[in-house]
Amino acid sequence: MAMILGYWRKIWEPAGGWPAALATTTFWYVLLKGMTWLCFEVAVAPGAIAYDLAAHLLFGAILYALARGAGCFFVSISILLTLLHCGNAAKVAILGGPAMPDDLWALPSLFLLLQGWPLTVTSVCGAVGVVIVLGMPNLRKKRAWIAVAVIVGGVTVLTRWPSAITRTMDNTFGNSVWDQRGNFEQRGILIHLTQESARFFARAVRPPKKAEVAAAASLLNAKPFLPGDSVRQVMMPMPQRNVHIIVLESFWDPMQLVGAGLSADPLDPRFRALWQRAGRPHALSPVFGGYTANAEFEALCGFPVVDDAVFFEGRLRQNAPCLPRHLSESGYATVASHPNVAAFWNRVHAYRRMGFQRYFSRDDFVQDDLNREFLSDASLYRQVIERLRPLQESGVPVLNYILTFFGHLDYPLGPGRPRVITAESAEPMVEAYANVVYYKSRELMDFVEVLQQIDPEGVVVIFGDHLPFLGNNFGGYEESGLLAAERGEFTDGMFKTLISTPLLIINGTAGPLSTGDLAMYRLPDLILTLLHDDRPSIMTLARTPPGLNIRPLPGMQFVTYGNDAATTCRGRDNEPDWCGDVARWLEAVETLSQDIYSGHAHLFNPPEQGKIRKAL
């Protein structure tokens, strides 16, 4: 850096301040565009380069106006732009979408996830960024005050009139809610973040009013959306069967990778046999490659997540009658087990707000069988069984919720788990992942056999939280023709692949349950049905219109209907007429979700004339 700075000063001095500052900004812009393309194959569209560069020059001018001197500006612009461009490109390549304002909520969890040199680099870069922001300005200069005024004015306009800015920028730069990568490519990162920040502030409106909640509840309680007899209150004995929910990190069927040349089927034959008996159903996840907490929320609370943000981090703000609390009110012991850092994705507060009485996290488990830093599923299951025995002997019914840790990137194996599957794929992660599934599925089935011995009538629910990351830009999937490199090129069938993980529900001694594909938010209602629990429950409110299986995604809804026919409702002209009904249904569901989890909970304290409690 010192050598580069020395050469740069030789160029700077004859060129003068402002021209050299803008030239420096242009240099870093071009350099980082090349780096992100070579390292991540991420770039803006050619037609967006002009105004993307213009936005960077404006950013560079403001930074130079604030800077104490030439050296301070050089260090600041180089570090800030590198963090911005490389961080965004990494997210696009891994998760398929660009940086968003909501990602600020995830930063604490990112630091909890990282270890070793990645943690050191990230921490140093973050610290340097803070130092730059706090120490760079020289407020003795008139131009610095002008820059401060521009920043304050821009932030004020953005937060005061976000809806108007959003409409103007959408008309100018376009917007596709379901294709955020395409949005970034057509805007550039600075314009994209500005535009989505305006949308973020515009979306942060007041909680739903009583009348709005009443209208939404009425819509969901009326045909064809929610048959009235399905939510009637029935006096009945409390359920007593144990419920075991096992959420498997990045669990998927690698045999779908027909172009990968796998040497053997990684899935345990016991799992494949049971799954086949059930008709090979899938859980339809709200996320791909990460954001496990959103899949958890849906499977425990019965409402869909529709935004590209972590629900646990900013949207679950108060206690709610989710499945754990609903069952605890009938005498269940509700226990969550996840051998990760306790606070990751705000789980300490989220689990408590959903009604878990006890949460066992990393420090509660003996780290005796590791795949690098990840506790093996075998050890996790063994320790969970040890904790369940006293409850089982006491006769207390249990909601036993397990989220596995083994299976995270980059799919490491411990010394006791040698690779047994080979692959011909050009993407190295395919072979690594196939071997993870080999061990995950066998350790799972060993655990299931133990559960069936000690709790033969228990309800066992097993599903993967999301598809695994298999290389930048869906590389491993594209190789087998399952996904395109960009979401904007996905067919309806590709969207189904993107969201589908194996689902297996064992209904006690009755065996595997044939459910068909189910959106994850439908699972709590199904569990209560298996328990013959007809008590009023919020888990019934998101029951879908008859004949439709709806998987909301950011900006669109994936819908299956009829004999496995599927479409995506995105507001296009040639969509089926019932896409409008789906949109109205989803709007009502979102209204109730906002009211229950972050609003005033009018649903539980309705005005007399609203009769909202009927919907429960």
Domain boundary among 506, 535, 564: 535
Residue 447 maps to which CATH number? Answer: 3.40.720.10
Statement to judge: residues 267 and 182 lie in one domain = no
d(CA 336, CA 21): 54
Q: 370 and 519 share a domain?
A: yes
Q: Tell me what pLDDT residue 234 has.
A: 41
On whether both 78 and 197 belong to a single domain, the answer is yes
Give the pLDDT score at 578.
Answer: 80
- Tell me, what's the pLDDT at 473? 86
Name the domain boundary from 498, 515, 535: 535
Query: What is the model's pLDDT at position 14?
Result: 45
The answer as to whether 555 is a domain residue is: no
**Domain presence at residue 557:** no
Asked if 91 contacts 99 with a C-beta cutoff of 8 angstroms, the reply is yes
**3-class DSSP state of 556:** strand
Rounded to an integer, what distance in angstroms lies between the CA atom of residue 457 and that of residue 441?
22
Q: Are residues 290 and 392 in the same domain?
A: yes
328 and 394 part of one domain: yes
What is the DSSP code (8-state) at residue 468? Answer: P
C-beta separation of 262 from 423 below 8 A: yes
Together in a domain, 192 and 252 = no
Domain that holds residue 329: 238-535
Q: Is residue 550 part of a domain?
A: no
451: its two tokens:
């559960």
What is the distance between the alpha carbons of residues 196 and 55, in angstroms, rounded to a whole number? 15
Gap between the terminal Cα atoms of the chain: 64
Asked if residue 242 and residue 197 are part of one domain, the reply reads no
Q: Is residue 508 within 8 Å of 305, Cβ to Cβ? A: no
Same domain for 491 and 379: yes
Quick one: how many helices (H) and strands (E) in the chain?
22, 13
Q: How many domains does the chain have?
A: 2
> pLDDT, tens digit, for every residue of 376-411?
999 999 999 999 888 888 889 999 999 999 998 889
418 plus 340 within the same structural domain = yes
pLDDT of residue 233: 41
Supply the pLDDT for residue 441: 97
Q: Cβ(162)–Cβ(199) under 8 Å?
A: yes
CA geometry: angle 568, 573, 577, nearest 5 deg: 70
Residue 115 has what pLDDT? 60
Q: Could you say which residues of the chain have pLDDT below 50?
A: 12-15, 222-236, 607-616
Total count of residues recorded for the chain: 616
Last residue of one domain, picked from the residues 479, 505, 535? 535
pLDDT in the model for residue 95: 62
Assigned domain for 361 exists: yes
Residue 457 — φ and ψ, nearest 5°? -95, 5
Q: How far apart are CA 563 and CA 559, in angstroms?
A: 12
DSSP 239-265: P---EEEEEETT---GGG-TTS--SS-
Q: For the chain, percent helix, then strand, then coil, each to nearest 5?
A: 55, 10, 35
Residues 28 and 137 in one domain: yes
What is the pairing mode between strands 459-464 and 243-248?
parallel
DSSP string, 363-397: GGS---SEETTEEPHHHHHHHHHHHHHHHHHHT--
Q: What pLDDT is attached to residue 305?
A: 92
Closest alpha carbon to 69 in 4, 9, 124, 3: 9
269 plus 128 within the same structural domain: no
Task: Give the model's pLDDT for residue 312.
Answer: 83
Instruction: Map residue 372 onto helix, strand or coil.
Output: coil
Residue 288 lies in a domain: yes
What is the model's pLDDT at position 560? 85
pLDDT of amino acid 229: 32
Identify the sign of the CA torsion 534, 539, 541, 543.
negative
| 605 inside domain | no
pLDDT value at residue 413: 94
81 shares its domain with 150: yes
Kindly state whether residue 547 falls inside one of the protein's structural domains. Answer: no
- pLDDT at residue number 205: 58
Pick from 543, 541, 553: nearest CA to 518: 543
- Report CA-CA distances (Å) from 83 to 36, 79, 87: 11, 6, 6
For residue 559, the surrounding DSSP H or E stretch is strand 556-561
Residue 543 counted as domain residue: no
